[in-house]
A and B are shown apart, each in its own frame.
Chain A
């Protein structure tokens, strides 16, 4: 009979497997070409494990049967699964855990579990293809069955399947043409092997291709080769590039097709093993050019469905995943639906994520949504300065005043671009966004004039950016007061938009020329004026009198008046104390905002 295990101990073991997978994350990302080369297979698998692990912390300090633990863990994997690879791995785990939930880990039952895991993953995948993670799952099942005849211990059997899994993995390019054309093995399949290896070996790192050149570097080599090889061969042989190719360390080129091409280039330049006949060299040259073009096209495909969309729908009105599939399959491709009770986890590539959400919302509650722009991810993936996303979501604020920068940071903004007097350039904004290393960013500025530059910067940056169209620092405070990073990114954005105009305020500034206000009031040069709802409402040569009048007219019985002091008034003291005397029933607070244009922002809450 199985005995209970300490959850803390098994959590630690899972953490080790997660670390092992994480070590290989970049390698797995670099293989990702199918179904879309968006370079996130490794990340998705790691995030799937991470999400499940976070939820298993609920069981800390408890004991439970191992089968029970696995069942809970698999359920959490499903609910937290990310991307195609994460979902398929979770399906496998769900099927596996279903069989071993009785904690029977005999070699026969483990076989049944692997078989059920494979079947569950296969049946749960829309349009299952050979040469993917599914093939590796079947290979595990078959090899395990074969080894069962000679071994008793399931752990030993699993360990012995690994060399075979690697063999099958190396054959995936033969099964899925797109892999062969791109010169890679399947990323999901490789992830599955790493996962099994991690289970088997925990932290014993096996050097699974981690010193290879990055995808952008390989593509760059391919591009340069294509450019140089087009010249006359006799000329090409004497170029520094040809010299470079002849000295290249092929072990670092983990793209089999590119490796083969470069070896052919080397043959041309060194006359090795190639019929010296000019025609055969020219034929080889032509083939190299064609193949390099093919590789380039393959890594830069036309992405037809732009958004990798995932959501969890809790619904008592939808009876089966087939019913849900019928409702949404026309919206895109790569559709995977997993059902756990009345919860449906959906993964789909689409151009219309909002339409899908609108379609399903009347049927239940959307408890989680995620939309990734795959075109952006792809651009990031194949660029030289590829970004390793470290956060799922971040908040980026762009403000002029140092005081506001500090206030916003302490309210939870992840990064602030404090631009001072001169508005930030597109480049500064794009760098600021990229520096966050976040997949999704909420960006908001304190000046409407920055919006255009921000929009352009967003088109250059590598993250999904949601621009909050704010135009003053008080709006940013309202936004930060109203949002929480516990929300998913779409809800965060909705809440941000909802909260930017919640705090009434006026700004007090000094006129540097005579101004005629909308209400026919003339503001004389050097007088102070108050702006409320974008209109000049008051003016006075004395700032304190103006502030008193503004509060009298605009506070409308509010309980708290807050002054944010700007740079022009940084040396003034005592205004708040004098206002307190004038308005004894109102609470006053003063902070340094550091804004350049306004002496004070005054908020009424």
Chain B
């Protein structure tokens, strides 16, 4: 018999609720602290709102871990109606605290309902891509054991790759998520960094993938990196691509240029991502990128 599966995910996934065709889902909002005051994503407090504050005021923005109580409440509200809960968590390499929260909840409910915590090894649209990949196989498959589901989740994680162009890495640095991309900071020459989170990297941290001096160069490099990854993984097409932009007005034209280039690649499904409030804390103005699932 097909299992009834409920999914939990944080709202740092680069997708809005209406883009996710799965009913049994709860998106928990990350708290965002701006100059010490807590905000959560809403029509008023959006990525654009925060980016505009970054551009006009000298503010300090941080995000906080997904509150354990919020996750517990989501489980509490739903566990009676389901056979299994899957929690898609942002990369433990980027936030070990988020992973710990997820694990605490899993242990708290271990005699009540099985919970699979999926370390997405991703952030932003990467988490969204992992989520949609998991929903794909849940919908397609009938009777899967928990072990099979875990294995399939892991396959989705390891086949998801995200590429970002962050014109100003200071936002990522201040958020403590710079990882291996720190080598791209401090250049005298004005450079545009390409960073990435690769699902086949077990560390799940931000890597430096390249750099360019113009957006045209970095867009071309991103496309070449994607082609190289497809070749490396023997993938003839992209199962799903999620590009994202719109952290303020900056770089919209070059982000669109990247989308056009992605469209020219063999791809089954292209979903245009939505920038979120919590994402903007790390992206800063003018960031854009694309996540692919092979």
A412 CB–B CB distance under 8 Å: yes
Interface contact B190-A589, CB-CB below 8 Å: yes
B247 CB → nearest A CB, Å = 21
Interface contact A605-B203, CB-CB below 8 Å: no
Chain A residues with CB below 8 A from B248, complex form = none
Given A57-B203, A562-B213, A485:B188 Cβ within 8 A: no
Interface contact B202-A55, CB-CB below 8 Å: yes
Determine the distance from Cα of A587 to Cα of B214 in the docked complex, in whole angstroms: 10
Chain B residues with CB below 8 A from A61, complex form = 96, 99-100
Interface contact A481-B203, CB-CB below 8 Å: no
A541 CB → nearest B CB, Å = 32
A168 CB–B CB distance under 8 Å: no
Among A55, A482, A591, which residue has its beta carbon within 8 angstroms of that of B189?
Answer: A591
Chain B residues with CB below 8 A from A62, complex form = 103
Chain A residues with CB below 8 A from B145, complex form = none
A486 CB–B CB distance under 8 Å: yes
Chain A residues with CB below 8 A from B212, complex form = 481
Determine the distance from Cα of A484 to Cα of B212 in the docked complex, in whole angstroms: 13
Chain A residues with CB below 8 A from B202, complex form = 55, 58
Interface residues of A in 559-599 (CB under 8 A from B): 559-560, 562, 587, 589, 591
Chain B residues with CB below 8 A from A406, complex form = 188
Give B193-215 as 1s and 0s: 1 = Cβ < 8 Å from A's Cβ atoms: 00000000011100111111111
Chain B residues with CB below 8 A from A477, complex form = 189
Interface contact B210-A484, CB-CB below 8 Å: yes
Given A60-B96, A61-B100, A482:B210 Cβ within 8 A: yes
Interface contact B189-A411, CB-CB below 8 Å: yes
Determine the distance from Cα of A365 to Cα of B180 in the docked complex, in whole angstroms: 24
Given A57-B203, A365-B232, A481-B212, A591:B188 Cβ within 8 A: yes
Interface residues of B in 193-250 (CB under 8 A from A): 202-204, 207-217, 232
Chain B residues with CB below 8 A from A534, complex form = none
A410 CB–B CB distance under 8 Å: yes
Interface contact B214-A411, CB-CB below 8 Å: no
Determine the distance from Cα of A562 to Cα of B212 in the docked complex, in whole angstroms: 13
Q: Tell which of B103, B189, B190, B217 has the most Cβ of chain A within 10 Å.
A: B189
Give B71-114 as 1s and 0s: 1 = Cβ < 8 Å from A's Cβ atoms: 00000000000000000000011001001100100000000000
B191 CB–A CB distance under 8 Å: yes
Interface contact B189-A410, CB-CB below 8 Å: yes
Among B180, B191, B203, which residue has its beta carbon within 8 angstroms of that of A58?
Answer: B203
Chain A residues with CB below 8 A from B58, complex form = none
A417 CB–B CB distance under 8 Å: no
Determine the distance from Cα of A10 to Cα of B212 in the docked complex, in whole angstroms: 42
B69 CB–A CB distance under 8 Å: no
Interface contact B213-A481, CB-CB below 8 Å: yes
A407 CB–B CB distance under 8 Å: yes
Interface contact A410-B96, CB-CB below 8 Å: no
Interface size on B, residues (CB 8 A): 29
B217, closest chain A residue (CB): A605
Determine the distance from Cα of A589 to Cα of B183 in the docked complex, in whole angstroms: 22
B97, closest chain A residue (CB): A61
Given A481-B211, A605-B217, A410:B93 Cβ within 8 A: no
B221, closest chain A residue (CB): A482
A1 CB → nearest B CB, Å = 17
Give A335-372 as 1s and 0s: 1 = Cβ < 8 Å from B's Cβ atoms: 00000000000000000000000000000010000000
Chain B residues with CB below 8 A from A407, complex form = 187-189
Among B92, B103, B187, B213, which residue has its beta carbon within 8 angstroms of that of A605?
Answer: B213
B202, closest chain A residue (CB): A58
B36 CB–A CB distance under 8 Å: no
A560, closest chain B residue (CB): B214
Chain A residues with CB below 8 A from B183, complex form = 412, 484-485
Among B203, B204, B208, B213, which residue has its beta carbon within 8 angstroms of that of A560?
Answer: B213
Interface contact B96-A486, CB-CB below 8 Å: no
B100 CB → nearest A CB, Å = 6
Given A61-B96, A605-B213, A605-B214, A486:B208 Cβ within 8 A: yes
Give B146-173 as 1s and 0s: 1 = Cβ < 8 Å from A's Cβ atoms: 0000000000000000000000000000
Determine the distance from Cα of A209 to Cα of B233 in the docked complex, in whole angstroms: 50
Interface residues of A in 523-569 (CB under 8 A from B): 558-560, 562
Chain A residues with CB below 8 A from B209, complex form = 484
Determine the distance from Cα of A562 to Cα of B204 in the docked complex, in whole angstroms: 36
Interface contact A559-B214, CB-CB below 8 Å: yes
Determine the distance from Cα of A560 to Cα of B216 in the docked complex, in whole angstroms: 10
Chain B residues with CB below 8 A from A591, complex form = 188-189
Interface residues of A in 13-30 (CB under 8 A from B): none
Interface contact B208-A411, CB-CB below 8 Å: no
A121 CB → nearest B CB, Å = 26
B122 CB → nearest A CB, Å = 15
B185 CB → nearest A CB, Å = 9
Chain B residues with CB below 8 A from A587, complex form = 214
Determine the distance from Cα of A365 to Cα of B202 in the docked complex, in whole angstroms: 18
Interface contact B188-A410, CB-CB below 8 Å: yes
Give B46-67 as 1s and 0s: 1 = Cβ < 8 Å from A's Cβ atoms: 0000000000000000000000
Interface contact B191-A481, CB-CB below 8 Å: yes
Determine the distance from Cα of A484 to Cα of B208 in the docked complex, in whole angstroms: 8
Chain B residues with CB below 8 A from A55, complex form = 202-203
Chain B residues with CB below 8 A from A562, complex form = 213
Determine the distance from Cα of A60 to Cα of B183 in the docked complex, in whole angstroms: 23
Determine the distance from Cα of A410 to Cα of B217 in the docked complex, in whole angstroms: 20
Determine the distance from Cα of A58 to Cα of B179 in the docked complex, in whole angstroms: 13
Interface contact A410-B216, CB-CB below 8 Å: no
Given A406-B188, A477-B189, A605-B214, A486:B99 Cβ within 8 A: no
A551 CB → nearest B CB, Å = 16
Give A32-62 as 1s and 0s: 1 = Cβ < 8 Å from B's Cβ atoms: 0000000000000000000000010110111
Chain B residues with CB below 8 A from A365, complex form = 232
A/B interface sample: 19 pairs, CB < 8 A: A55-B202, A55-B203, A58-B204, A365-B232, A407-B187, A407-B189, A410-B187, A410-B189, A411-B189, A481-B213, A484-B210, A485-B183, A486-B207, A559-B214, A559-B215, A559-B216, A560-B213, A591-B188, A605-B214
Sample of 6 more A-B contacts, CB < 8 Å, known A58-B202, A410-B186, A559-B216: A55-B203, A58-B93, A412-B183, A484-B209, A591-B189, A605-B214
* Chain B residues within CB distance 8 Å of chain A: 92-93, 96, 99-100, 103, 180, 183, 186-191, 202-204, 207-217, 232
* Chain A residues within CB distance 8 Å of chain B: 55, 57-58, 60-62, 365, 406-407, 410-412, 477, 481-482, 484-486, 558-560, 562, 587, 589, 591, 605
Would you list the 4 A-B pairs with minimal beta carbon distance, nearest first? A61-B96, A410-B188, A410-B187, A560-B214
